[in-house]
Structure 1
């Protein structure tokens, strides 16, 4: 056989995954999927839940009160999401699988408990604690897959893992169409308790990553947070925080206001309210499909041209598509079709999150990796939450959502100037 052909065949071969690696990935992916499902469940059941609970709490269920209470509960959820950095040091100290199972168990139990709420205060507490669990799942799932998969497969593993969150959107929509319609909002929250099974599976069937075990046998830092903010890691920590913050701002701007924008455009086109809502659901599905495609396309591109150039391409795509959708198509006389077309582009480049699942683990040693991942993602959520509320105020003040959301494209332009300060890790193995 031709020697060139032999070499090409060998190059295409991948290190086979053992049973623990396969089960561990699907456990992490399922947790990430159910994480996305849980986040979207709240958006789907917000109005019926508050309509029932506000009168029980001493408030009239007016549209204004529902909107205000919804904003407060969302703020509590985001604060809990941001506080999820506490899981990072725990994972560096006690192991990835145990703490990953703990995050899944936390958000599952307290999502299920939300079904028992008697008033808005109880619902707020349950959503806050569920947010703490949900926020930790991404960092720990990404860390586990990066450390447990073979070096020649972990990059695609990051892309596969990221698709789970958007698959969760579909799952939530399907449950709402079946369970929610027939059994109400409490039944929807109860479905969020299902991930407890995944947590038990992770604990019983998945082995701890060898990299963490070796690091634990060595000199694990007593204060990993102090170390990632110290001289050795300070620059890459803050650069990663800035880039993740920009990505989160874009995600929330597009995801939060996309359904409202589609409904407005569909109504303007003469559709009935019910048809407009259905159109918004279809547009959300298209956005999710495009994002999954973007997640899968990213790892091979990052391997070919590097992490920094890949993120620059995705950030440029986000800036152009946000401006095109919300700044241009939204204001066209017949803008529904152009807007939805831009949504597909926006969704594809929204797959930039897959890069962080691939890139962040490459920037930090095993003994501080989970802490760094959790800290950077939590920092971005806190800042992103603040920007999201400023955006809401701007929409209220300007009486339009197009221009304020379009202005978030500026964040991605700023990101293009920050990317050069990040380390390029193409071709490097995961640091021990």
Structure 2
């Protein structure tokens, strides 16, 4: 009884957040939300945008060409994400908040410019550069919150931060349900450039984390990329790269093709085009709600059962959910309702990304933390780009969406055998 009372009292005595920590969190969260919105806008407007731009580029807008071009453009976007490792060393050298603002500014400007595209080549260039900006936001936001928040609050802070990305999915779905249906895909890209100015203004007024300031004052000029690939960190760096690669492949296979799958199933059920688009938006909203709940549930699970067991639970759930949705429900005669129901489960276990926001900062010291975070996420995106291209080719070859996406469940099964090689950091404080 006394033990329960002690834990309750400890929870009530959690270190209060100061104004800068609160403002910094909301700035990072807003940036991550708009990042998620930007990423998912492409999935939602893929078909109408390419249907218009392919003929202007000299190609027929057949379903096969739309699918192939969409996969190539998305692979290019992921390569841009992969190039985002450049932001990590910059943040370790010049600080978290200024460089974080730079990533947001980059993806905002080039998302807006995508609305001016005259052909698929211009769209590809704008999405590539937007990807460079988007890719850096997660690494820097996660690093900032881990360092700026008190030790007794930073774990839940990671879960709260990760909800932003999927709140962005929900926001993109709401915008598509209203603006996209009535004003088209160009208006959707324009929305990605407007509200991000607020996040930049907040971030520019936020103080740098004390941990980074202390490390900057004490350390000699480090070479963080060389250090994370050196003997001290090599194993944990490559294990983290592998686990993040698995998570990225699964997320994008499921999330990017989800709207197209829902539209196909809705059309098969006899819905009109606009009604099918609205149904895809509603399904995306449900996916996002599930993922937000998964993000919030993850930190308490990681604190109780450890990082490795929690990730194994989420990876196993992803394998089951991808198989159930794309491998089973997608092929049912009346599969729309079962498919959408499975999306909630897929969303919940997609919250596994929150663990990396919590876990990666715990594995590296302050002087190399941002570089390590950016490098590991970038590596996964490079591999994800290649897998996405192969996935698009498989969809084209097999003339079906479900089976190729369902096969990505296998990478999560493989991930269960990689997790034991990662360090367990439960109960450890953030290394200085």
| Counterpart contact for 1:76–1:124, Cα < 8 Å | yes
Deviation at 1:386, TM superposition (A): 1.1
After TM superposition, the structure 1 stretch with the greater mean CA deviation from structure 2, 231-240 or 322-331, is: 322-331
Check whether the contact 2:67–2:392 (CA below 8 A) recurs between aligned residues: no
State the Cα distance separating 1:177 from its structure 2 match: 3.3
Kept in 2, the 8 Å contact 1:221–1:368? The answer is: no
Structure 1: gaps spanning 5 or more residues = none
Runs of 4+ in 1 over 6 A off after TM superposition: 1-4
Cα distance, 1:197 vs. partner? 1.7
User: Cα offset for 1:6?
Assistant: 6.2
Q: Cα deviations across residues 362-400 of structure 1 (Å, max 9, x unaligned)?
A: 000000000000000011111112112222222222232
Give distance in 1, aligned partners of 2:183 and 2:219: 53
Query: Is contact 1:93-1:220 (8 Å) kept?
Result: no
Deviations 1:155-192 (A, max 9, x none): 01111111111111222222233333444433332222
- Give the 3-state SS of the residue equivalent to 1:424 in structure 2: coil
**Post-superposition offset of 1:408:** 1.3
Q: Which has the larger displacement, 180-189 or 380-389? A: 180-189
- Deviation (angstroms), 1:347: 1.0
SS of the aligned residue for 1:116 comes to coil
Cα distance 1:220–1:378, how it changes in 2: closer, same or farther (>3 A)? Answer: farther
Change (3 A) 1:399 1:178: closer
- Secondary structure at 1:304's aligned position in 2? helix
Q: TM-score, normalised by structure 2?
A: 0.93
| Residues 266, 132 of structure 1: alpha-carbon distance in 2 compared, 3 angstrom cutoff | same
SS of 1:367's equivalent in the other structure is helix
Task: Give the CA deviation at 1:126.
Answer: 1.8
Q: Deviations over 1:251-304 (max 9, x none)?
A: 011112222333333344444444443333222211111010000000011011
Contact 1:78 1:382 in 2 (8 A): yes
SS at match of 2:115: helix
Partner Cα separation in structure 2 for residue 409 and residue 247 of structure 1 = 10
Cα gap change, 1:263 to 1:20, in 2 (>3 Å): same
Where in structure 2 are there 5+ consecutive unaligned residues?
none
| The 10-residue stretch of structure 1 (256-265 or 381-390) with the greater mean CA deviation from structure 2 | 256-265
CA contact (8 A) 2:290 2:344 kept: yes
Cα contact 1:221–1:367 (8 A) shared by 2: no
Change (3 A) 1:61 1:392: closer
Contact 1:105 1:195 in 2 (8 A): no
Counterpart position of 2:173: 173
* In 1, Cα distance between equivalents of 2:322 and 2:103: 33
CA contact (8 A) 2:80 2:128 kept: yes
- Structure 1 residue 62: Cα displacement: 5.2
Q: Are the counterparts in 1 of residues 290 and 347 from structure 2 also a CA contact under 8 Å?
A: yes
Give the Å deviation of 1:227.
0.5
TM-score normalised per structure 1: 0.93
Judge which range, 397-406 or 238-247, deviates more: 397-406
CA distance in 2, matches of 1:395, 1:55: 22
Q: 1:55 to 1:219 in 2, by over 3 A?
A: same
The 3 A distance-change label for structure 1 pair 335 and 72 is: closer
- Relative distance call for 1:2 and 1:381 in structure 2 (3 A) is closer
- 1:227-260 CA distances to partner (integer Å, 9 max, x unpaired)? 1000000000000000001111110111122223
CA, structure 1 residues 7+130, in 2 after alignment: closer, same or farther (shift >3 Å)? closer
Q: Report the CA distance shift for 1:175/1:104 in structure 2 as closer, same or farther (over 3 A).
A: same
Quickly say closer, same or farther: Cα 1:326–1:115, change in 2 above 3 A: closer
Change (3 A) 1:392 1:133: same
Whether the 8 Å CA contact 2:101–2:204 is kept in 1: the answer is no
**1:329 CA drift (Å):** 2.5
Query: How far does residue 3 in structure 1 lie from its aligned partner after superposition?
Result: 9.8
Could you tell me whether the CA contact under 8 Å between 1:104 and 1:198 is conserved in 2?
no
- Aligned mates of 2:334, 2:3 — CA distance in 1: 59
- 1:327-359 CA distance string (max 9 Å, x none): 222333333333222221111111000000000
Q: Alpha-carbon deviation of 1:23?
A: 0.4
Structure-2 separation of matches of 1:143 and 1:188: 30
* 1:220 and 1:367 in contact (8 A); partners too: no
Offset at residue 411 of structure 1 (A): 0.8
Cα offsets for 1:24-67 (capped at 9, x unmatched): 00000000000011112223333444444445545555555544
Gap change, CA 1:306 and 1:19, over 3 Å in 2: same
Whole-angstrom distance in 1 between the partners of 2:117 and 2:429: 48
Structure 2 partner of 1:59: 59
Listed one character per residue, the Cα deviations across residues 54-113 of structure 1 (whole Å, up to 9, x for unaligned) are 455455555555444433332321211110000000000000001000100111111122
